[in-house]
Chain A
Amino acid sequence: MKYVDEYRDAKLARGYARALARAVTRPWTVMEVCGGQTHAIVKYGVDKLLPGEIELVHGPGCPVCVTPIEWIDAAVEIASLRDVIFCTFGDMLRVPGARGDLFSAKAGGGDIRVVYSPMDALQAARANPEKQTVFFAVGFETTAPANAMAVYQAKREGLKNFSMLVSHALVPPAMESILSSPANRVQGFLAAGHVCTVMGYTEYEPVARKYRVPVVVTGFEPTDILQGIYMCVKQLEEGRHEVENQYSRSVRREGNAEAQKLVRAVFRPIRRNWRGVGEIPESGLGLTEEYEAFDALRRFAVVPQVREGPSECVSGEILQGLKKPGECPAFGVRCTPERPLGATMVSSEGACSAYYRYRGARHEP
């Protein structure tokens, strides 16, 4: 497939691996922010091509993983109501809340439908005027334009039976939260190419300057990631800390202006909780006043109750680059993709699940 196959070329990958080996003189820790990149790194063994000096740690960039437990509980509560059609992306079904997951709510009789796009949920609302259709809007900046469009169209059409449970997260505040932690080990970032396709990368420029960290906007295929690491390590070796764009075939500095316009009309930044990580100011999206009638929590008068109990799961530390999956005592023993204890095991883009799938239960850490 064009724009895919050429970026999976083994010769090109080895070329970058050799260039990296020549460029590196000291140990460096680099974080890939996005779960899609984590998945590709572990699947294609990108980390195994790197010289020993470079350690990759996996970031918080899986929106499924960081959806707070209380939001899963709210989803289960709403999805179990009579005359509700609850639409969600498939990866949310098995995410454990404090009181079960959406999969069991479906088995219990909830009308829960897996959709490919928020527009499919909108279509379900149009087709079933006697019922309430709710869409579980989970995602980062990449997904926000699609979700914004669904709400925008619902208002334009005057649909009274469509609403959204919004659990949107924003990447730059999470990166700042990692960088400002005293335990931080991350020296350079690969920023998520799809997030930047929508938002551009001007937001990262002050972050790179303030924390003196290089940020390289990077794509998702194995050689994209290797080139991104090379560009990042080159900056580290030369003492630079700039924002560079590896993924220029899709990302422009200012991003996608049309998409940003609609996102800004429908959503506004709010404080939010990241599962395992905690609250981060201005790191989520809520509906603006003009669209708040489409908020499912309001419509069904559901109040999410925070209750993160004690657990042996260390996914919070994994999401902040402080630990790797192999360091969790439950990994592969009490926690597997079939019976996940924590969110990084649930989604195929979570670091625990990626290691389990491609490296097995007993991989070398």
Chain B
Amino acid sequence: MCLAVPGKILSIEGQDPLLRSGKVSFGGTLKNVFLAYVPEARVGDYVLVHVGFAISVLVPEEADRIFRYLAEIEEGDFLQGEEAS
């Protein structure tokens, strides 16, 4: 029910900020999405879409934090292991 799916904005239309909408591609499937809540969104951005509305613009710099975070804790655990032995 609270599912939200990431998709890429291909085009934007509408002058009224409250009615701004865009074509968003979800792995090739196109849908019309309301963009009223992401005024900062531009063509090419990835947005998170829930029941027809974009609720956020995904931040590319944060996207791979999940990999860096694991590398950091693994390194930390490894160093700790070294000290202990």
Contacts and interface: CB of A to CB of B under 8 A. Distances in A.
A2 B6 contact: yes
Contacts of B52: 116-120, 146
A197 interface: yes
Contacts of A129: none
Contacts, number: 127
A110 B47 CA distance: 36
B51 A36 contact: no
B6 A4 contact: yes
Nearest to B27: A1
Interface string A214-239: 00000010011001001000000000
Contact of B56 (A62, A197, A227, A349): A197
A61 interface: yes
Count class of interface residues, chain A: 35 or more
B74 interface: yes
A1 B5 CA distance: 10
Please classify the interface of chain A as helix (H, G, I), strand (E, B), loop, or mixed, using the class held by over half of its residues: helix
A328 interface: no
A39 B36 CA distance: 29
Contacts of A130: none
B71 to A, nearest CB: 9
B50 A194 contact: yes
A250 interface: yes
A62 B2 CA distance: 8
Contacts of A332: none
Contacts of A4: 5-6
Given A63-B1, A117-B51, A146-B50, A1 B6 contact: yes
Given A192-B2, A198-B55, A251-B56, 20 more contacts: A2-B46, A3-B6, A4-B5, A19-B77, A118-B51, A143-B1, A146-B34, A149-B18, A153-B18, A194-B4, A194-B55, A197-B4, A197-B48, A224-B66, A249-B63, A258-B37, A258-B39, A259-B37, A262-B37, A349-B1
Q: Shortest 4 CB-CB distances between A and B: which pairs?
A: A117-B52, A3-B6, A1-B27, A249-B62
5 contacts: A118-B52, A142-B2, A197-B55, A230-B73, A249-B58
